[in-house]
Amino acid sequence: AAMVKETIRVYARVKPLGRRQQAGSYSVDNEEPLPSLEITVPRDLADGFINNKRESYKFKFQKIFDQEAKQDVIFDSIAKPVAECVLAGYNGTIFAYGQTGSGKTFTITGGAERYSDRGIIPRTLSYIFDQLQKDSSKVYTTHVSYLEIYNECGYDLLDPRHEASRMEDLPKVTIMEDSDQNIHLKNLSLQQATNEEEALNLLFLGDTNRMIAETPMNQASSRSHCIFTIHISSKEPGSATIRRSKLHLVDLAGSERVAKTGIGGHLLTEAKYINLSLHYLEQVIIALAEKNRSHIPYRNSMMTSVLRDSLGGNCMTTMISTLAMDKRNIDESISTCRFAQRVALIKNEAVLNEEIDPRLMIVQLKKEIQDLKDELALVTGKQRTSELSQEELLQLDELIETFLKDNDPDSSLDVGADMRKIKYCFVHLKQIINRPMTLGKKLLSQDISEEKYSNEELEKLKGLLQQRDNEISLWTNNDDCCLKKISLIYLTDILVTMLKKEKKKAQDALSQLNASSASSTVLELSPSMSLEESQSPSRCSSLKEAKDFSSSLPRLPLLSRATGGKMSLGCQEAFEVFKRDHADSITIEDNKQLLKQRFDEAKCLGEKLNEVRNKINHLKGKIIQRQIQRAALAVSNPSEELTFDPVEENLRMQIEEEKKSYKTVYSHFKGLKVEIEHLQLLMEKVKIKLQKDFEVWWSEKAKKLQ
Ligand code: ADP
Ligand code: MG
């Protein structure tokens, strides 16, 4: 099998400096062939923090992405090459390593606010499904899984049956090793995703579960590892070989030392565990980097077991070191870079993951055996050089005669697997057919005349068929028809969504006017929230999955505004105040504006699509008219033959042009749809987060009051 041997690619990404942060001193040199990052530590700091007299540290990377690097660039340079390998049948892994707050989640999943902030996972999904759609030579199947590892325990983030509100409610995933020492994850669900939209919905479900499972006590986001995996299998039609590949996208736990973050007391056990798990990762990496080490301690922790193939095994692996370069974090950044230098020494050997489907193989082999048997029989017959004997020839003549005389339709002429005999029979039969007034003629005349008749008939039918074909292709050009259907569905979806939203908005405003006129804050804020609220029901009309998910998401009863009465007036008011103070209203407003703009654009495009379609139909009508006219002319003037019609040709060309523009507008339209759905998911996320934050805040307030 094909194999690619390569060291792990290691990149660095520097997070933009916060507003109140003091910049640390560093410089980036991206000169080929050895890009490097130099960090300078003031002498006093170096003495105090690192206990080392060195001032300047230089680290080599595949490439360094400085503060201003945007998500699309990160995807194109880091993730796309890995995704390409995975599409070709190799395993791939991308993991982000760095201290808490340095941008791991931002890089792997993305920011929850802007569409342009979406990270490696959604972009990779989009890229992969695009590529799969383009390749019609193979049949592809895609699944995703999402695993969170916290305190050496695995949790399935994608199980839709569970209404998780705590991490312990999620299904527990355990490791099993088979006799070939392959790792299997028991209880981790593989969810099929047939397109980008389904995959994004699964990601959304997982991220929401991840968010909900986090509490101030477990601080899961900094102490757990999350592994989003895309599983792809592909097969060429008719082939027994299946290619399977996996792409792990890993958001590791924060790499900071426990002592420095100052976590104390009973939290230490947990913190120590996280440290332990990253410590085991380091041990594995050190072992791998050493020459002639035979034992690699993969089994020490769940994470190293799961990633065993990705570290020094069958995988194309890439690491992104995320760095916060402000003064206070510079020593952690140096630790991260040191770790990265060791990782860069590890060699992986990625092999093409091909396996054979035994059932398909049997079918294929059976066919091959039959073919070979036939061929062998023919070949051995041919290889005999001697002529057929007089006696054999007479025997054959007799066989042929009985065969011809036999009226049984099941009778056959069996001369055995001898090419010479078969040939002789053919020649003999040919002679009989061509010889007039013989036995052959008498026997076969009927058949021959029938065949002649059917030949004429056949020609006629062929002509008719051609005509029908032309008509059919004229009226229902296959892909055009399909496009028409799909775009109609989308258009209706979008319009229905818009209408529902308008109606809901009006209703909300009215009901709020009636019900809660007591609280002026509610009134003031309601327009800004009503859009999000109307989102879920309307989106559900277009996304079945989303509906399933949102019903499986735990809803906080005290916040269920739909039922109104459940939340006490005080709590409700508090929520409104909290919302005003905590919600990033600028971003929400931004996104809402953007969403509206996109809807308008989609509507516009939809209208354009309709227009083009009407144009095409009009042109088709013209062609038909033209054909009828010409047919009528041909009837009244039979001497003139139907010839090439330049007018018709011109109409056809116009149709082709319109079709082209239809396809362009349509693909734009489809892109918009993906963006709109993503924006809706983002807003849903912000909303859930806000509710969750409020719940925490409220319960803390309540506790204090007690
Ligand atoms: P981590 O997952 O490593 O703990 P996060 O990804 O959560 O860190 O990042 C911490 C904060 O910094 C988040 O608010 C995130 O949006 C922001 N952030 C991180 N990297 C970037 C970046 N490259 N550009 C803009 N904001 C970023
Ligand atoms: Mg994170």
Distance 20 CA to ligand 1 centre (A): 15
Distance 104 CA to ligand 1 centre (A): 7
The pLDDT, as a whole number, for residue 270 is: 52
Q: Residue 612: which residues within 8 A CB-CB, separation 6 or more?
A: 658, 661, 662, 665
Nearest-atom number in ligand 1 for the CA of 100 is 4
> How remote is the CA of residue 202 from the centroid of ligand 1, in Å?
22
Task: Give me the number of domains the chain comprises.
Answer: 2
Q: What pLDDT is attached to residue 562? A: 37
704 is in an annotated binding site: no
Q: Using CA atoms of 528, 533, 538, 542 in order, give the dihedral in degrees to the nearest 10.
A: 100
pLDDT at 397: 86
626 Cα distance to chain centroid: 47
Cα distance from N-terminal residue to C-terminal residue, the chain: 68
What tokens appear for 87 in the block? 């599409």
Spatial distance between the Cα atoms of 255 and 146, rounded to a whole number of angstroms: 21
End position of a domain, from candidates 326, 341, 356: 356
Counting ligand 1 atoms within 8 A of each CB, the residue from 106, 109, 211, 326 with the most, and so the one to mutate, is: 106
Domain of 37, CATH number, reads 3.40.850.10
Residue at 122 is within a domain:
yes
Half-sphere exposure of 399 (CA within 13 A, CB side): 17
Nearest CA among 671, 692, 678, 680 for reference residue 537: 680
Question: Are the beta carbons of 255 and 339 closer than 8 angstroms?
Answer: yes
Asked if the structure places residue 191 within a domain, the reply is yes
Considering only CA atoms, which residue is closest to atom 22 of ligand 1? Answer: 15
Structure tokens at 610: 């309709």
Contacts of 108 (CB under 8 A, 6+ apart): 94, 96, 119, 120, 121, 226, 228, 249, 250, 251
89 among the known binding-site residues?
no
Residues lining ligand 1, Cβ inside 6 A:
15-16, 98, 100-106, 111, 222, 254, 322
Query: Phi, psi (5° rounding) for residue 196?
Result: -60, -40
In a domain, 489, yes or no: no
Which of residues 335, 356, 377 is at a domain's end? 356
CA of 250 to the centre of ligand 1 (A): 15
Position 43 scores a pLDDT of 63
Q: What is the dihedral of CA 150, 690, 20, 55, to 10 degrees?
A: 10
Within-domain flag for 347: yes
Walking along the chain (706 residues) 10 residues at a time, the average pLDDT comes out as: 80 94 92 91 59 77 97 98 94 95 96 90 97 93 96 89 75 88 89 94 91 78 92 89 94 78 48 69 86 84 89 89 94 93 88 79 79 71 61 85 83 79 84 63 44 56 58 44 44 50 54 44 32 37 37 38 50 76 74 86 88 89 84 73 79 90 88 86 83 81 75
299: in domain: yes
**Would the pTM count as exceeding 0.85?**
no
User: In testing the pocket of ligand 1, which one of 13, 15, 210, 221 has its CB within 8 Å of the most ligand atoms?
Assistant: 15
98 annotated as a binding-site residue? yes
**pLDDT score at 461:** 58
Kindly state whether residue 266 falls inside one of the protein's structural domains: yes
Q: Whose CA is nearest to atom 16 of ligand 1?
A: 111
Residue 586 belongs to domain spanning: 569-637+644-704
- Ligand 1 atom closest to the CA of 251, numbered from 1: 2
Atom 17 in ligand 1: which residue has the minimum CA distance? 103
- Of 337, 356, 375, the last residue of a domain is 356
Q: Which pLDDT belongs to residue 486?
A: 44
Tokens 């070989």 -> residue: 241
Residue 98 Cα: closest atom of ligand 1: 3
Residue 684 lies in a domain: yes
Measured in Å, residue 111 CA sits from the centre of ligand 1 at: 7
Residue 314: how many CB atoms within 10 A of its CB? Answer: 19
Ligand number nearest CA of 210 is 2
Asked whether residue 492 is domain-assigned, the answer is no
Read off the amino acid at residue 603.
K
pLDDT value, residue 462 = 62
102 is in an annotated binding site: yes
Task: Pick the ligand that lies closest to the CA of residue 116.
Answer: 1
Q: How far apart (Å, rounded) are the C-alpha atoms in residues 36 and 10?
A: 11
If you measure from the C-alpha of residue 110 to the centroid of ligand 1, how many angstroms do you get, rounded to a whole number?
8
What is residue 54's predicted lDDT score, i.e. its pLDDT? 58
**What pLDDT does 80 receive?**
97
